[in-house]
Structure 1
Amino acid sequence: MELFTTYAWIIWGALMLLFVIVEVATVEFTFLMLAVGSLAGLVTDLVGGPFWLQVLVAAVVALLLLFTVRPPLLRALKRGGDPTPSNLDALLGIRGEVLLPLTSTAVGAGPLGQVKLANGETWTARLLAADGTPTLDPGTAVVVTAIEGSTAVVVPAERI
């Protein structure tokens, strides 16, 4: 135990360094709060507090920061994000026009049609025919409801 009390400042410094390195890699503010708790333990050591008090102070400060300071920091970090959907999420709800006739056959059960989406992309497509619509002819307006692999699942635009 004397080893801990003699070299406690080195232990606290090493913990702070380790927590900061992990925080830089994760950017979720958990390890930053632990690093500040370690700093509180180091300050307690420097003013002459016993090792058990150093650990207690470090734990209390870290927990207080985790539950009081971390949530607002996370909200501030995420506030400036771009809410615009991207990748496949951006295709959901986009309108298009049928190029090749669409049928409501199951995946792999028959030929698929094609649609040209409003963003200019051409996709193979399958009709989601919940209401019994058997086919859609070229020129019919559709809306993408899902993406299954490389196939757009569409419904007639008037149903939306």
Structure 2
Amino acid sequence: MSPNEVLMIIIWSVVLVGTIVVELETSDLVTIWFTIGAVAALVAAALGVWIVYQFAIFIVVSLVLLFATRPLSKRFMDKEVIRTNADRMIGMHGIVTTEIPFDGKGEVKVNSQVWTAFSTSKTPIIQGTRVVILDIVGNKLLVDVLKEEI
């Protein structure tokens, strides 16, 4: 194998891993088509196909899959949001009953109910701190410290 062939295998591997990471970090199908295109180009590179054809394979496979499956995937991914009475809690205040670490979950008491909560803050929120509910994600509250508490 020539150095150029090895380099292209490395490049397509990096593209493949990068698109997989992006796909895992998002809730929509965003890069799955490019992931499959990268696999096709990686196979082509491993077989020694000329670099220009590798890029052509990547682009063609990705675009064909994108245009062929995106409308179908959007239809299945766009689910109607069913509102519940829990939505009324957004904007309400609560008290931290179990410390919320900066990278984990704790508990917050709101209207005599205890909820699992997390924060996007880079610092932990200690027990007894008053918080405001920013959003409900699944069955967990996204909270932030009340500005008067800072």
Question: What TM-score, normalized by structure 1, do the two folds share?
Answer: 0.47
Structure with greater Cα Rg:
1
